[in-house]
Amino acid sequence: MSSAGMDTIEVKVGARTVEADGICSYELVRADGQPLPPFTAGAHIDVHVSDQLVRQYSLCNAPGETQRYQIAVLRDPASRGGSQAMHDNIHGGAVIRISAPKNHFPLVPAPHTLLMAGGIGVTPMLAMAEQLQAQGASFEMHYSARTPERTAFCQRIAAAPYADKVHFHFDNGGAGQQLDLPALLAAQAPDTHLYVCGPGGFIEFVLGGARAQGWPGERLHVEYFSAAAVDTAGDQPFDVKIASTGQVFTVPADRTVIKVLEEHGIDIPYSCEEGVCGTCLTRVLEGEPEHRDMYMTDEEHASNQEFTPCCSRAKSALLVLDL
pLDDT in the model for residue 56: 85
Mean pLDDT along residues 189-212: 94
| pLDDT tens track for 280-290 | 899 999 999 99
Domain that holds residue 210: 113-224
- With b for 16 or more beta-carbon neighbours within 10 A and e for fewer, the 228-255 pattern comes to eeeeeeeeeebebbbeeeeeeeebeeee
How does DSSP assign 127-172, residue by residue?
A: HHHHHHHHHT--EEEEEEES-GGG-TTHHHHHHSTTGGGEEEEETT
Q: Classify residue 107: in a domain, yes or no.
A: no
pLDDT at 18 over 80: yes
Q: Classify residue 106: in a domain, yes or no.
A: no
Q: Classify residue 105: in a domain, yes or no.
A: no
Q: Classify residue 108: in a domain, yes or no.
A: no
Q: How many helices (H) and strands (E) are present in the chain, helices listed first?
A: 7, 18
| C-alpha angle 178-112-37 in degrees, rounded to nearest 5 | 100
Domain at 159, CATH number: 3.40.50.80
Say yes or no: 33 and 94 in one domain: yes
Lowest-confidence region among 119-128, 139-148, 173-182, 248-257: 173-182
pTM: 0.76
C-alpha 147 chain-centroid distance: 23
Q: Classify residue 233: in a domain, yes or no.
A: no
Lowest-confidence region among 24-28, 91-95, 217-221: 91-95
Say yes or no: 215 and 283 in one domain: no
Say yes or no: 206 and 245 in one domain: no
Q: Classify residue 57: in a domain, yes or no.
A: yes
Higher pLDDT, 275 or 69: 69
Domain at 60, CATH number: 2.40.30.10
| pLDDT tens track for 154-168 | 999 999 999 999 999
The domain boundary, picked from 176, 194, 224, lies at 224
pLDDT at 52 over 70: no
Q: Classify residue 229: in a domain, yes or no.
A: no
Total domains, the chain: 3
